[in-house]
Amino acid sequence: MSVVDDEYQRQIAAMTPAERMERAASLLMWARENTARRIVEEKGEMSAERLRWEVALRHYGHEPIMRRLIEKAMAGVPD
pLDDT at 1: 76
Q: How far apart are CA 59 and CA 19, in angstroms?
A: 24
Where are the domains positioned within the chain?
Answer: 3-74
pLDDT at 76: 87
pTM: 0.81
Give me the residues of the chain with pLDDT under 70, please.
Answer: none
pLDDT at 75: 94
54: enclosing H helix or E strand: helix 48-60
pLDDT at 38: 98
pLDDT at 79: 79
